Homo-oligomer: A and B are copies of this chain.
Amino acid sequence: MTLPELHVSQWFNTDKNITLASLLGKVIVVEAFQMLCPGCVLHGIPLAQKVAAAFPKEKVAVLGLHTVFEHHDAMTPVSLKAFLHEYRITFPVGVDAPGEGPMPKTMQAFQMRGTPSMLIFDKSGSLRAHHFGDVSELLLGAEIATLLGQERETSLTASDVSIQPGCGEDGCTI
């Protein structure tokens, strides 16, 4: 089985090119967001920051992924850099590589439905959860702890909230 991988054109908050493969052995939480998506700013990113603060870095890796699928010229890497600075986001954030359509590559590969989306990979690099929209902190904590206690498994769980098309306080959909 081939493990999934991120497609990133540029990283912020890190000197290295980060891959999921390089993080094997840790639970990996990927927060996919757009800097002008209100639901990302109000809920998704603060939650990712809480995860980064609550769990030790050597056990849980938190990554941001800037998955721009609309208003591309409004959310360039130059704007993203200032956004990360002003919102004090310190975990590594990758720019999802441009795809053939409006949706960037990683977003398409994982069939994300919009932003914010959260992907959780287990210690062996398998995708174990894929959330879209608002996420329960209690259940997210439970999910991460379960993966921290486990070795390789293969099932994929998914939980979603239904979100109207367009951008609302909860998120942006394609």
* Interface, chain A (partner B; CB < 8 A): 36-38, 41-42, 50-51, 54-55, 71, 73-75, 78-79, 81-83, 85-87, 136-146, 148-150, 167, 172
Contacts and interface: CB of A to CB of B under 8 A. Distances in A.
A51 B82 contact: no
What is the count of identical protomers in the complex?
4
Given A74-B78, A81-B74, A145-B146, A54 B86 contact: no
A37 to B, nearest CB: 7
A86 B172 contact: yes
A86 B146 contact: no
Contacts of A150: 149
Given A79-B79, A83-B36, A86-B36, A141 B137 contact: yes
